[in-house]
Structure 1
Amino acid sequence: MASKGRLYRRRLRARIIVSFVLLGTGLTAAFALATLLLRSNIENDLIDSWLASEAKNFVEFKRENPDPNAPFSLSRQIEIIARSPRTITNLPFAWQRLETGVYEMVDEDVVGEPRPYKLAVYRGDDIISFLRYDFSQEQLSQRNLVYALLATLVVFSILAALLGLWASRRVMQPVSDLATRLQGFSEGGQPEPLAPHFADDEVGQLAAALDDYSERLTALVRRDREFNADVSHELRTPLAVIRGATELLQAAPDLDPKSATRLKRIERAVTQCTDLIEALLTLSRSERGHGAADLRRIIGQIVEAQRLAMRGKAVELVVEDGPQVVIDAPESVLSVALGNLIGNAVKYTGQGEVRIRISRDAVAITDSGPGIAAEDAEHLFERGVRGKGSEGSKGAGIGLAIVTRLCELYGWEARLAPRGDGEEGAVATLRFSR
């Protein structure tokens, strides 16, 4: 659970960093794109208007100064040509039909590479002027600007990532501190208040809410434990009275066999109730008790009680020879766990046998009942769930749920599965080492 919490915090921190990176990259990219578009549009508009104006001015200059040697000052990048409508045929064919305006053209340089240029044309009645403006330098500068903006984009993205990393640390530090303090709480006792360690912000409000929840939960657990302790104490008294009366009746010299059998059933029921109370009290406290439970002796007691309760049912209980095993657990806990598994096997077996096999680390109970479906086996240990073969039988479906809780507390493993030998029935296994 702790590792899962750390994973979620890392994901939240990563989302903060990614948000900063996306924000920085997006703003920088938008700024770069806007810069390129503005530069391209403004530059084209300025050059086009300037070339058109110069082409018109050159025509007017030639009208006023027909001398071919008359100087007309222009940039070195501009080639200017003037022709009369009759002598235009010695110019490039692509120029001859152009009307007044500015055009983007492409030709080849001396090495065959494409070379862009702008051509401004002004058609007068007697003179046509052509101003050729080499645009390659502007394209080169625009390309360099693109490279510079891309480099700026990378740099700003890295800066945004570093800023996001720094910001995420500052943002997540109070949350991490809160999680660390929560993980440091001991299982017992009143937890230390969290709110005094945090500022009055969102994390502080969360800490205060956790403190309030912790107080209510602690009070609820305390009341639950006190109730369980009181109930178990109050139930022990009548059970002790019943046990004492049963022992006195069993000691009577004129006791007939039928009454003796009934008294043994009562005595075993008292023992089962006492063990169940102890097991439930252990679960309510979540405290793992210790002991030296003789596995074979406890199984013998459970089998004897089941035989007394079967009332002539055509089911044979067989305990196979096995090793002598001692389990580190209270006898009451082991008796409740095995009693539920063996009792279920006897309950759902109409006739045949229930075979119990003891090994060093497990007990296997095999019955010849109707069996269970493989897909239902894992759900039978859930509270309130009963098998398909339980119709007409009594019970609320909590016996196996108690077994599951005991297994979780002691590190055992309980399983139910269909028999694998082709016969009808099920196999219940209680394994003491996972």
Structure 2
Amino acid sequence: MSQAEGGAPAPAFPGRRRYRRRLRSRIILSFALLGLGLTAMFAIAAAFVGAVVEDQAVGSVLKENVDDYAQRFYEDRTAQWAPLGSVRAHVYGPGGRHNVPPEWAELDTGVYNITGEESGEPFVYRVVVKKDPDYWFFLAQDMTSTAEVRARIKLILIAAVVLFTLLAGVIGWWSAARVMRPVSELANLLGASGDKAGPGELAPHFPDDEVGELATALDDYAARLTEVVQRDREFNADVSHELRTPLAVVKGAVELLLSRPDLDEKTVARLQRIQRAEQQCTDLISALLLLSRAERGHGSTDVCRVAEQLLEAHRSQLGGKALELLLEGEAGTLVVDAPESAVSVALGNLIGNAVKYTTAGTVIVRLRERAVDVIDSGPGLSAEDAAHLFQRGYRGSHAEHTHGGGIGLSIVRRLCRLYDWQVRVVPGAERGVVATLRFDVDADEAG
């Protein structure tokens, strides 16, 4: 079932949690990631370049040795050529190739790295192969100690990466403290200025740098905001005085005219309509002033009496409309701690919408313990209307032939936020719409 609510606004994505980091933490994290990235790239590059240089250097030397070994072998085949150190040379003729180790026999001319185990110990050696038509030459160099050194170098590089990352984090923490100090001072000054009647100057406390520019911009913004607030206060005072004064004149004149005994029924009806319109304007001005000041007014308002007055006002304006307006509830059933003007505007907009969109049938105002329902038999509520019903300026899909600017329910929502009320509009069980206005009722005041 589609519904629209005008209480406290809910987050757009209630199931999504937002994780935010402080600016100081971002700076430290940036330095740490920078240190990690640079040292890691340097370590990888160093290891790669070292391995390539070593392979190329050792491989070229071994290639030269095997070529030299083959040349000397062809010059004097009776001599025994024994390479020095960890390098061993082997030559196999046409009749002795069955003695070639299986892992060597399939190798073509080139340089190869071979790993394995010998007497239970792992070993690594590099083999240079030179295969002539008659003889095969193999030159093998033990690289086990070199592989161990390379592993130690990798460990050293990893330790260097960790160390430099920590060092970068420490530098980031120190830099963040220095960078954020003026920003923290600016925030403290802003917090302290909130207790003052007027805005304090922030720019004189900071040098002519980026923070100083921010302080200057905040000073300018505070001055403009103060000017706006001052204009708003003056406007509220002007509205309160200049509009209420003529309304009071209208009210007095209407009461004076209604006291005359020689008036006919049509004149009395018209004067009563003027009286209701004056009261409606007075209530609306009071409610809007409360909203503009964001302050709650207090009072002991009987919702039943307000609903009865609103329904009576709408009955006099039905004309030939086949619509019945009913009130279910008794006086004193629901008493609200709020000005009568606020309750009248909030409930009046809901009743007015029900009367406006219902061409025939009934509009029922039902009082409950802590809420009041406005039930109509109108055309109902579409999903699109339910989604945008409380937006300022939105007019429903059935508003083609009705008057209004689409701000009534927006005012209701603002009043609900001010007084912690809740408004809910949902489709009816069979047809029409059910609008519910729920109050936070003081139990001692409820009848």
TM-score, L = length of structure 2:
0.80
The equivalent residue for 1:377 is: 386
Cα 1:196–1:299 shift into 2, 3 Å: farther
Aligned match of 2:84: 74
Pick aligned residue for 2:49 from 33, 38, 56? 38
Structure 1 gap ranges (5+): 2-6
**Are 2:439 and 1:429 aligned?**
no
Opposite residue 427 of structure 2, the aligned amino acid is P
2:396: which partner in 1? 387
How far did residue 325 of structure 1 move? 2.8
Please tell me whether residue 357 in structure 1 is matched to residue 357 in structure 2: no
TM superposition shift of 1:231: 2.8
Is the 8 Å Cα contact of residues 418 and 427 (structure 1) preserved in structure 2? yes
Give 2:300's aligned residue: 292
How far apart, in 2, do the equivalents of 1:368 and 1:115 lie?
92
Q: Distance in 2 between the 1:275 and 1:188 partners? A: 34
Asked whether the equivalents of residues 229 and 281 of structure 1 are also in contact (C-alpha less than 8 Å), the reply is no
Between 1:48-57 and 1:365-374, the stretch displaced more is 48-57
Are residues 170 and 366 of structure 1, via their aligned partners in 2, closer, same or farther at CA, if it must alter by over 3 Å?
farther
Q: Does 1:324 align with 2:333?
A: yes
2:346 equivalent among 337, 351, 371: 337
Q: Kindly provide the amino acid, as one letter, of the partner of residue 84 in structure 2.
A: L
**How far off is 1:92 after superposition?**
3.2
User: 1: CA distance between counterparts of 2:370 and 2:253?
Assistant: 38
- Relative to the length of structure 1, the TM-score reads 0.82
1:144 to 141, 145, 152: 152
Asked if the contact 1:368–1:426 (Cα under 8 Å) also holds between the matched residues in 2, the reply is yes
1:219 maps to amino acid: E
The equivalent of 2:112 in structure 1 is 104
Contact 1:122/1:128 (<8 A) preserved:
yes
d(CA) in 1 for partners of 2:52, 2:253: 108
Q: Which residue of 1 aligns with 2:124?
A: 116
How far off its partner does 1:355 sit?
A: 1.0
SS, match of residue 190 in structure 1: coil
Equivalent residues of 1:118, 1:132 under 8 A apart: yes
Q: Distance in 2 between matches of 1:313 and 1:204?
A: 67
The amino acid across from 1:205 in the alignment is E
| Fraction of identical pairs, as percent | 48
Q: Deviations over 1:23-67 (max 9, x none)?
A: 212211221122223322333344345545666777999999999
Distance between the aligned counterparts of 1:96 and 1:135, measured in 2? 20
* Distance of aligned partners of 1:304 and 1:105 in 2 relative to their CA distance in 1, 3 Å threshold: closer
Q: SS where residue 141 of structure 2 aligns?
A: strand
Structure with the bigger RCO (C-alpha within 8 Å, sep 6+) is: 2
- Separation (CA, whole Å) in 1 of partners of 2:227 and 2:269: 47
* Number of residue pairs aligned between Structure 1 and Structure 2: 423
Over the aligned positions, Cα root-mean-square deviation in angstroms equals 3.9
- Return the alpha-carbon distance in structure 1 between the equivalents of residues 403 and 316 of structure 2: 18
1:397 corresponds to 2:412: no
Is the 8 Å Cα contact of residues 92 and 100 (structure 2) preserved in structure 1? Answer: no
Structure 2 runs not aligned, ≥5 long: 1-8, 10-17, 442-447
Name 1:195's counterpart in structure 2: 203
Q: CA deviation at 1:297?
A: 2.1
CA 1:315–1:115 in structure 2 vs 1: closer, same or farther (change >3 Å)?
same
Report the secondary structure of 2:395's partner residue. coil
Which residue number in structure 2 is paired with residue 305 of structure 1? 313
